[in-house]
Amino acid sequence: MEQFHFKGFSPNPQTRMKANRLYSRLLEEAPSGATISGVLEWDGELYQCSIEIGSRIYPIAVSTNHRNAGIALDKAELTLSRKLAKFGVSFTPSEQGRASARVAAVTS
> How does pLDDT run across 27-84, given as a tens digit for each residue?
888 778 888 999 999 999 999 999 999 888 888 999 999 999 999 999 999 999 888 8
**What does the H/E/C string look like for the chain?**
CCCCEEECCCCCHHHHHHHHHHHHHHHHHCCCCCEEEEEEEECCCCEEEEEEEECCCCCEEEEEEECCHHHHHHHHHHHHHHHHHCCCCCCCCCHHHHHHHHHHHHHC
- The whole model's pTM is what? 0.81
Domains and CATH numbers, the chain: 5-107 (3.30.160.100)
